[in-house]
Structure 1
Amino acid sequence: MSDHRVLVVFFSRTGTTRMLASTLARMLSADLEEICDLAERRGPFAYLRCLVDSWRKRPAEIVPAGLDAAQYDLVVVGTPVWAGSASAPVRAYLLENRSKFRQVAFFCSFGGLGSQAAFAEMRALAGKAPVAQCNVRAAEVRRGAVGALLVLFVSALKRHLADHEALEWTC
């Protein structure tokens, strides 16, 4: 894995996706970058803004990335699922960086339904298929019950980077 540069990039409104991203970055010996939204996303009115952005498929205004995605062999992008969609900040990041991705993988945290629709949206926004994707229920993250799932996801990513084969893996 040391021959390959990996970036884990994420947005997190409540901290759940942040916990997943931090764990994944440690497991992959990857660089970690948080997508910073210029809009306030905490509180009841901000929650409504999140829903409206999701329904309208509107990207957020974000702080420019500090790390250049083009410098990485694999960019692992994480999002919370908002109303069956990728979060607006992740939508913006994928649009801004799609020409820089060599390979991508996706992960998401979700409370109910919609992770597969969010992955389909992320695939379209990134302009390429992910080498692997992993969806995790937010309640399982809070309980600390996702270790085995993340080990499988990380193993698939490492195997892909080592073998350079066209592997598509979903958990």
Structure 2
Amino acid sequence: MNTIVVYYSFTNNNEQLAKLLQEKLKCEILKIETVRRRTALSIFLDVLFQRKPAIRPHEMAMERYDRFIFVAPVWAGRMASPLRTFLYEEKNFIVRYSFITLCGGGQDNQRWRLEKELTAILETPPENVTELWIKEVLESKNMDPTKFTTAYRVESKDFERFADKINAFIK
């Protein structure tokens, strides 16, 4: 099976997760990069108007892969818009896929909404959708999740908290 990890990361939290998955799976990786720099305002507008920002072209032939693992943040209950752009551009090559995110956490029905959004774009449901909540890391450090979730930058040791979920996702 030829697997690729495709990721977008605004704060580098999801980039660290993507690289961890690549290392564990010993597969290729592709970083989605936007043409224009992202800001809090552009992210807000993307969510509000369901925009698909322009992304930089890549040199990888997606038809070579039979399994995709998508990694991206979740913004207001939706996957990050640069990943959405990628999915629309490459959807003809994506059949078997999963999605994992390092996100704030705690939103009702977020997983279900992500599955619905992915299925609507790719016309086939994901094999797996997994959320790793920063909220859990903050609570374990006795930090207020309401205050620090958005600003928190994950450290490699934080992934130990999610080891069981990551291993279950990989299987």
Specify every segment of 5 or more residues in structure 2 that has no aligned partner in the other structure, as ranges. 138-153
2:7 paired residue among 5, 10, 16: 10
CA shift in 2, pair 1:116/1:20, >3 Å:
farther
Determine whether 1:125 maps to 2:145: no
Tell whether the 8 Å contact from 2:52 to 2:82 is kept in structure 1 after alignment.
yes
CA shift in 2, pair 1:36/1:107, >3 Å:
same
Tell whether the 8 Å contact from 1:77 to 1:105 is kept in structure 2 after alignment.
yes
| In 1, Cα distance between equivalents of 2:115 and 2:44 | 17
Aligned pair count reads 148
Amino-acid identity (%): 23
Tell whether the 8 Å contact from 2:111 to 2:130 is kept in structure 1 after alignment.
no
Tell whether the 8 Å contact from 1:55 to 1:83 is kept in structure 2 after alignment.
no
2:104 aligned partner: 111
Determine whether 1:88 maps to 2:66: no
Determine whether 1:26 maps to 2:23: yes
SS at match of 1:106: strand
| In 2, Cα distance between equivalents of 1:136 and 1:66 | 30
| In 1, Cα distance between equivalents of 2:114 and 2:44 | 14
TM-score, normalising length: structure 1: 0.80
1:165 aligned partner: none
- Deviation of the 1:50 alpha carbon: 0.3
Moved over 2 A (4+): 112-116, 138-144
2:133 aligned partner: 137
Which amino acid letter does the alignment assign opposite residue 109 of structure 1?
Answer: L
Specify every segment of 5 or more residues in structure 1 that has no aligned partner in the other structure, as ranges. 156-171
| In 1, Cα distance between equivalents of 2:119 and 2:132 | 18
- Alpha-carbon RMSD across the aligned residues, in angstroms, is 1.5
SS at match of 2:101: strand
Tell whether the 8 Å contact from 1:81 to 1:115 is kept in structure 2 after alignment.
no
